[in-house]
Amino acid sequence: MIRLEKICRTYQLGGQPVHALVDVDEHVPAGEHVAIMGPSGSGKSTLLYTLGCLDRPDSGSYWLAGREVARLSDEELTDVRRHHIGFVFQSFHLVPRLTAAENVELPMVFAGLPRAERRERVEAALASVDLSDRLDHRPDQLSGGERQRVALARATVMQPRLLLADEPTGNLDTSSGRQILDLLDHLNDAGTTLVVVTHDPSVARRAGRVIVLVDGHVVRRLPGGEVMGAADLFAP
Amino acid sequence: MTFNDLFRFALGSLGGHRLRTALSLLGMVIGVAAVVALTALGEGARRYVIEQFASIGTNLLIVVPGKTETTGLPGMVGGMPNELTLLDARALDRQIPEIDKVAPLVVGTDDASFGARRRQVAVVGSTWEFEEVRKLSVARGEFLPKADLQRGRPVVVLGLKVAQELFPGGEEPVGRIVRIGGWRMRVIGVLAPRGVQLGMNLDDVVIVPVVTAMKMFDRRSLFRIFVQVHGSAGLEATKQKVLRLLAERHDGTEDVTVLTQDALVATFSQILAALTLAVGAIAAISLSVAGIGIMNVMLVAVAERTREIGLLRAVGAGRRQVLVVFLTEAALLSAAGGLLGLAVGWLSIEILVQVFPALPASPPVWAVGAALALSFGVGLLFGWLPARRAARLDPVLALVSR
Ligand SMILES: Nc1ncnc2c1ncn2[C@@H]1O[C@H](COP(=O)(O)OP(=O)(O)OP(=O)(O)O)[C@@H](O)[C@H]1O
Ligand SMILES: [Mg+2]
């Protein structure tokens, strides 16, 4: 599904180069569940946005489903994001003026799907996150957990093969978080490739494999089950 | 993304900020309303003048003392002109066969009174031909008699309003003696209602024989001469003959101006049309100011919705789609402003026409079209920059912006 070779991403900050990603090599087979861990500022989000074709690496190559992303035009990248990738963010990123149903509908609106099909899919997606009774609620009328479930419904409504989540439980209490994680596991069981950025060892433990980033370098790879605490993980 | 979806999405985001949307609309509304109302006013003035001229007869030449330059209107330059006299008028009548009737004209103002009632009136001195040349008709009694041009008999034809005010309550004016200035005159007729024409309210005049008027006001010359040309004769050829004859009579100097109705109408029409255009153009400038207002609102919207733009990109909106979304919002804003402005402009014209019924004010079609097209174009033009800024945002930076 994903193959990264010597991916580098450097930001310029006041003339100083900041190395967000340095020579990252990675292979994620289709259907895998990967967690990315690392201290703050280690490049986790940068890696995730790179995987999601929102950010382009400065060097290195990225193959997604057999296609090299660097060769794709802006429009082709948009098409890839539209049909193959779903995003879930720590801060939900729902459009405040739109209802839950309209937020979920958004990706299909831009993909130009016919309205009848959209309606059907919205209902199915919200039902799958157990929010059938919240279709016409605006984000400010929903709890944090409910918002993240709406966001998850939006991320999956186009049935992407790759789901990327940046600290999906970072703003949630334990039980809402567990609900989201269960839903993610469920999607992974159904074949969706899942990459989750997290600080939380208990979230990482659910992953088949954990990648540890420090200062833009991949410093460790270990099975999810072997994750104990954060402190020992990030030690060089 | 279908047009329908685009429309709904744009409408939704505009609806999210009602006050801001309304304020930016206001500029557009005022601009379009100004264009529509002001051009309607100018066009109304133009039509008013044309109607005025159309109501006097065709086949009419108007001889005015003094030579004009190019405007077609009598000029004041070139020193003292020779004066137009009654003999000039008679010569025109007798020596040019194409001329049907000649009506000399002298005007002044004086008091008219009957018993204790008194009012100021415009006094028109002319001859019996004036009735036909100016298409007047007499409601009661008769018009001026076909007497010798040189005889100044003390008779008067009253305009309708003058008659009503001097003889209220249905009293019969014909045959009574009224005073005009210091002169006692017998009323021989009352004009049928006519209203304002060529700047003269014909309901508000009294008409006396031309020589009488010249005596009253101590004048030796005429204000102008109306010449009615035979229907079959060419107006332009006759005009040349008139000019030649009068030049001959005035020691070879061409010191009169002969106006034809066409030339007068064309000149006035041109002047007023130019004025309308100028006023409309000035009002149109306010449209570009309105456009800047829209740009401002859209720039604020882009800044405020940066995170939303990042999200749209993440869920599969292309740069072009983002551009189109914001352009649509700007276009909707300006189109709504344009239509509202049209309504406001129309309303103000309706009110104006209620207040001044004589003014046939209605906006010219070109002005309505131009105002709408311009408002829409201005919206797109000034919406372009913010929309492009939205489309060019880096999706990651947009997503994480605060
Ligand atoms: N747009 C940017 N301009 C400059 N520097 C940036 C930019 N985005 C990220 N960085 C820097 O790149 C490094 C990696 O950032 P990134 O957001 O990937 O970290 P992270 O691992 O997600 O951290 P956190 O756990 O706090 O979310 C950081 O040092 C950050 O300051
Ligand atoms: Mg991060």
Ordered by start, the domain boundaries in chain A are 2-93+162-233
Residue B45's pLDDT band, with cuts at 50, 70 and 90, is confident
pLDDT per position as a tens digit, A224-235: 888 887 656 676
Instruction: Tell whether A30 is within 8 A of chain B (Cβ).
Output: no
Of A65-74, A78-87, B55-64, B87-96, which gets the smallest average pLDDT? Answer: B55-64
* DSSP 8-state class, residue A41: T
For atom 14 of ligand 1, which residue has the closest CA? A43
Centre a 10 Å sphere on the Cβ of residue A15 and count the other Cβ atoms it contains: 5
Q: If you measure from the C-alpha of residue A18 to the centroid of ligand 1, how many angstroms do you get, rounded to a whole number?
A: 9
- What CATH topology corresponds to A2-93+162-233? Rossmann fold (3.40.50)
Q: How far apart are the first and last CA of chain A?
A: 29
Decide if B192 contacts B160 (C-beta within 8 A): yes
CA torsion B271-B277-B281-B287 (nearest 10°) is 140
Q: At what angle do helices B365-392 and B18-55 cross, to 10 degrees?
A: 160
Over residues A80-88, the mean pLDDT reads 95
pTM confidence score: 0.73
State both tokens at B296: 């401002």
Q: What is the number of helices (H) and of strands (E) in chain A?
A: 8, 10
Q: Which ligand number lies closest to the CA of residue A213?
A: 1
Decide if A152 contacts A172 (C-beta within 8 A): no
Residue B343's pLDDT band, with cuts at 50, 70 and 90, is very high
Distance CA B204, CA B360 (A): 23
CB proximity list for A235: less than 8 A, separation 6 or greater: none
Is the Cβ pair B1, A110 closer than 8 Å? yes
Share of residues in chain B with pLDDT > 90 (%): 34
Is the Cβ pair B316, A107 closer than 8 Å? yes
Q: If you measure from the C-alpha of residue A195 to the centroid of ligand 1, how many angstroms do you get, rounded to a whole number?
A: 18
* DSSP 8-state class, residue A31: T
Q: How far is CA B257 from CA B98, B210, B228, in A?
A: 18, 21, 16
pLDDT per position as a tens digit, B140-174: 899 998 876 777 889 999 999 899 999 988 889 99
pLDDT per position as a tens digit, A147-165: 999 999 999 999 999 999 9
Q: What is the pLDDT of residue A106?
A: 95
Q: In chain B, what are the domain boundaries? A: 3-52+266-400, 82-254
Of B8-17, B60-69, B106-115, B393-402, which gets the smallest average pLDDT? Answer: B60-69
Average pLDDT, chain B: 86
pLDDT per position as a tens digit, B218-253: 988 999 899 998 877 788 888 899 999 998 888 888
Residue B71's pLDDT band, with cuts at 50, 70 and 90, is very low
Helix, coil or strand: residue B250: coil
Of A169-173, B208-212, B215-219, B256-260, which gets the smallest average pLDDT? Answer: B256-260
* DSSP 8-state class, residue B84: P
**Phi (first) and psi of residue B109, to 5 degrees:** -125, 150
Q: Is A176 left (phi over 0), alpha (psi -120 to 50) or beta?
A: alpha
